[in-house]
């Protein structure tokens, strides 16, 4: 009998309930007239006389323990209900204010989508680079000003480790490991040692494109540029190319588009010229192809690059570059409708 009482006590110690109905079911199981404790009282009659005092005391203690345990479960549920008093569970949930994508991210994705339509795929590379991929493989002379500490962030006191100054380093990495044809677009953050102002920053974002294949011509480059300009700024956009110089392209050019504010008639934004510069481009210099292991006598290519901040300025008329990195929620909320 004592073993049976002890087993019931251990069982009651482990009781749990999550609703008042479950508590009531436990009370009926253990404390009702036909419950487990009551059955012990019925069997008490057959206990030998010399054991009745001990067994009777154990049964009473078990009954008190079961009553306290079940009451405790009932009180814990009442306490949980009290904590919810004053809360209207039928009330409509509060509005959750959704954030908005950053304008640079919006423009970056739009540029990528335009080039994807004509077969370009996205390529990415490290922001901490070496001199070979940033400068030497791209035909920069050993004494080029871009290699000075006044223009480039070098790290670890090493002349060979630096923060990339352009995403052209991604192009050289792809050319080293991929056989033509190559058709890639390279978005990413770049760093230059410049004073921060409304028109310049020490870090900004670029998108560069590269196409290498047989029989690639400057006409292919111009048609690609015209397609991009009209997809980005509208079907009436005109372009013009002006001769320029970049170490990694020859010939090189700067591209202007007709001002999308005045339609090319002239305004303060375009300094009354009707044109706005947006990117640099050119045919890949044969020295760059050879340095990256591509036969320049068989293959040719073109490259172009633009600052995402510059394109965003033109698209949304943001006049201060610092606003892109200050995380002012009021500024970011202005672009919710652009999603």
Q: Are 318 and 324 spatial neighbours (Cβ–Cβ below 8 Å)?
A: yes
Say if residue 298's pLDDT is above 60.
Answer: yes
Instruction: Give per-residue pLDDT as tens, 178-219.
Output: 999 999 999 999 998 888 877 778 888 999 999 999 999 999
Q: Can you give the residue ranges of every domain in the chain?
A: 2-83, 103-338
Lowest mean pLDDT among 7-16, 71-80, 227-236: 71-80
CB distance 252 to 282 below 8 Å: yes
Residues whose CB falls within 8 Å of the CB of residue 239, separated by 6 or more in sequence, listed in order? 222, 225, 226, 229, 255, 256, 257, 258
> What percent of the chain has pLDDT above 70?
91
H runs (alpha helix) in 135-272: 168-177, 218-233
Question: pLDDT tens digit string along 26-60?
Answer: 888 878 877 787 777 777 677 777 777 877 787 78
CA dist., res. 155 & res. 85, Å (int): 60
Place 101 in a pLDDT band, splitting at 50, 70 and 90: confident
Contact 177, 292 (CB under 8 A): no
Most confident of the following: 129-143, 159-173, 206-220, 311-325: 206-220
- By DSSP bridging, strand 121-122 and strand 203-213 are unpaired
pLDDT at 209: 96
What is the pLDDT averaged over residues 317-338? 78
pLDDT at position 25 is 86
- What is the model's pLDDT at position 122? 96
> How far apart (Å, rounded) are the C-alpha atoms in residues 215 and 301?
8
- For the ranges 3-12, 15-24, 40-49, 100-109, the lowest mean pLDDT is seen at 40-49
Report the CATH number of the 103-338 domain. Answer: 3.30.930.10
All residues at 6 or more sequence positions from 41 whose CB lies less than 8 Å from its CB, including other chains:
59
User: Model confidence over 79-99: pLDDT tens digits?
Assistant: 655 555 566 767 777 776 766
Predicted local confidence at residue 249, as pLDDT:
94
Residue 259 vs residue 257, higher pLDDT: 257
Beta strands in the chain (DSSP E): 121-122, 128-130, 161-163, 182-191, 203-213, 239-246, 249-258, 275-284, 300-307
Give CA–CA dist 252/283, Å, rounded: 7
């Amino acid at each position: 009998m004592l073993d049976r009482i002890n087993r019931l006590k251990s069982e009651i110690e482990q009781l749990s309930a999550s609703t008042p109905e479950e508590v009531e079911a436990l009370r009926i199981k253990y404390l009702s007239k036909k419950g487990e404790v009551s059955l012990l009282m019925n069997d008490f009659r057959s206990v030998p006389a010399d054991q009745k005092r001990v067994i009777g005391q154990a049964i009473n203690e078990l009954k008190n323990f079961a009553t306290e345990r079940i009451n405790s479960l009932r009180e814990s549920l009442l306490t949980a209900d009290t904590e919810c008093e004053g809360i209207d569970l039928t009330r409509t949930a509060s509005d959750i204010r959704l954030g908005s994508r950053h304008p640079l991210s919006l423009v970056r994705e739009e540029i990528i989508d335009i080039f994807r339509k004509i077969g370009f795929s996205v390529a990415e590379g490290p922001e901490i680079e070496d001199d070979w991929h940033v400068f030497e493989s791209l035909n920069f002379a050993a004494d080029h000003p871009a290699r000075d500490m006044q223009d480039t962030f070098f790290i670890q006191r090493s002349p060979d480790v630096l923060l990339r100054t352009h995403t052209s380093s991604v192009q050289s990495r792809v050319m080293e490991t991929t056989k033509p044809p190559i058709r890639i677009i390279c978005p990413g953050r770049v760093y230059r040692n410049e004073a921060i102002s409304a028109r310049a920053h020490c870090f900004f974002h670029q998108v560069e494109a590269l196409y290498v294949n047989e029989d690639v011509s400057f006409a292919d480059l111009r048609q690609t540029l015209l397609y991009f300009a009209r997809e980005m700024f509208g079907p009436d956009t005109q372009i013009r190319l002006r001769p320029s110089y970049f170490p990694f392209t020859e010939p090189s050019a700067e591209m202007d588009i007709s001002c999308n504010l005045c339609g090319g008639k002239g305004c303060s934004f375009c300094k009354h010229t009707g044109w706005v510069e947006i990117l640099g481009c050119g045919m890949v210099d044969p020295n760059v192809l050879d340095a990256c292991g591509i036969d320049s006598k068989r293959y040719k290519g073109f490259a172009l690059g633009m600052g995402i901040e510059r394109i965003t300025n033109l698209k949304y008329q943001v006049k201060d570059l610092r606003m892109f990195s200050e995380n002012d929620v009021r500024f970011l909320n202005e672009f919710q409708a652009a999603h």
